[in-house]
């Protein structure tokens, strides 16, 4: 897609990846609205993007729909939705707290779905949705059963969404490996198992922006080449 002049909403812009993507889109000439859960961390990103911050909790699917509407109204339309949100949870599958499992699915799966549904109806002439799932969608990991399941469910949904809407809009599924964003240290429950060396979050930001510009439908980790690739 042409990023210059595009009207984009980045949800999760109070986080490392979302804020980086929002700033990079502005540098490419896009008009960007930003939304996130942490109002304090979101404020400077909104200022840098020249917009008002939109605060929401993805657990509230009505709020997801309202934020998309507010961003589209502020920008006079919507061409791009980026969802860079997520929470982690760790521990044996049989020990999982039902409340934690419910929040994992609400934030990692149901919230992004609600955002995409709201955005899809606002694309006037094509459009793009870019959603960060994770490598866990392909490689479910011990001590991360529920976390893996939320990402696998989201990635599967995006695959079907792409097939159903291949003539209407582009769907980009971003499945990065473990990153240096600190997500594992902010988990809802448990301690992370031994993880591989983290990939710098800036690599994801750069790859996602290039993937958007090229019209790619996936960003994945190439284990052989040990690099993140768009295809």
Query: Contact at 8 Å (CB) between 49 and 32?
Result: yes
H-helix or E-strand spanning residue 103: helix 98-105
Query: Contact at 8 Å (CB) between 89 and 106?
Result: no
Q: Could you give the angle at which helices 111-120 and 61-75 cross, rounded to 10 degrees?
A: 40
- Set 147, 157, 169, 221: catalytic member: 147
Query: Contact at 8 Å (CB) between 49 and 159?
Result: no
CA 225 to chain centre: 24
Query: Contact at 8 Å (CB) between 31 and 54?
Result: no
Strands (E), 70-140: 78-83, 123-132
Place of tokens 């949870």: 89
Strands 123-132, 78-83: pairing kind:
parallel
Annotated catalytic residue 147:
yes
Place of tokens 């490598």: 135
**Structure tokens of 179?**
């990153």
Which residues pair with residue 129 across a beta bridge? Answer: 81, 171
Query: Contact at 8 Å (CB) between 81 and 11?
Result: yes
Q: What are the catalytic residues?
A: 147
């Amino acid at each position: 897609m042409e990023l210059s002049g595009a009207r984009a909403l980045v949800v999760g812009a109070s986080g490392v990846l979302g804020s980086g993507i929002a700033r990079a889109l502005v540098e490419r000439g896009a008009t960007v609205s930003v939304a996130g859960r942490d109002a304090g961390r979101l404020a400077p990103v909104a200022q840098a993007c020249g917009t008002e911050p939109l605060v929401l909790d993805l657990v509230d699917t009505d709020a997801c729909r309202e934020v998309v509407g507010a961003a589209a109204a502020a920008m006079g339309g919507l061409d791009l939705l980026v969802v860079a949100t997520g929470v982690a949870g760790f521990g044996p599958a049989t020990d999982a707290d039902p409340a934690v499992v419910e929040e994992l699915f609400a934030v990692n799966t149901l919230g992004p779905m609600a955002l995409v549904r709201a955005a899809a109806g606002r694309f006037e002439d094509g459009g793009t949705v870019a959603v960060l799932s994770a490598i866990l969608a392909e490689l479910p990991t011990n001590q991360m059963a529920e976390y893996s399941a939320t990402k696998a469910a989201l990635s599967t949904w995006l695959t079907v969404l792409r097939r159903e809407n291949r003539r209407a809009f582009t769907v980009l599924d971003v499945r990065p490996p473990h990153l240096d964003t600190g997500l594992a240290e902010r988990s809802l429950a448990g301690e992370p198992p031994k993880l591989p060396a983290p990939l710098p979050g800036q690599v994801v930001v750069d790859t996602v922006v290039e993937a958007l510009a090229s019209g790619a439908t996936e960003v994945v980790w190439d284990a052989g080449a040990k690099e993140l690739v768009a295809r």
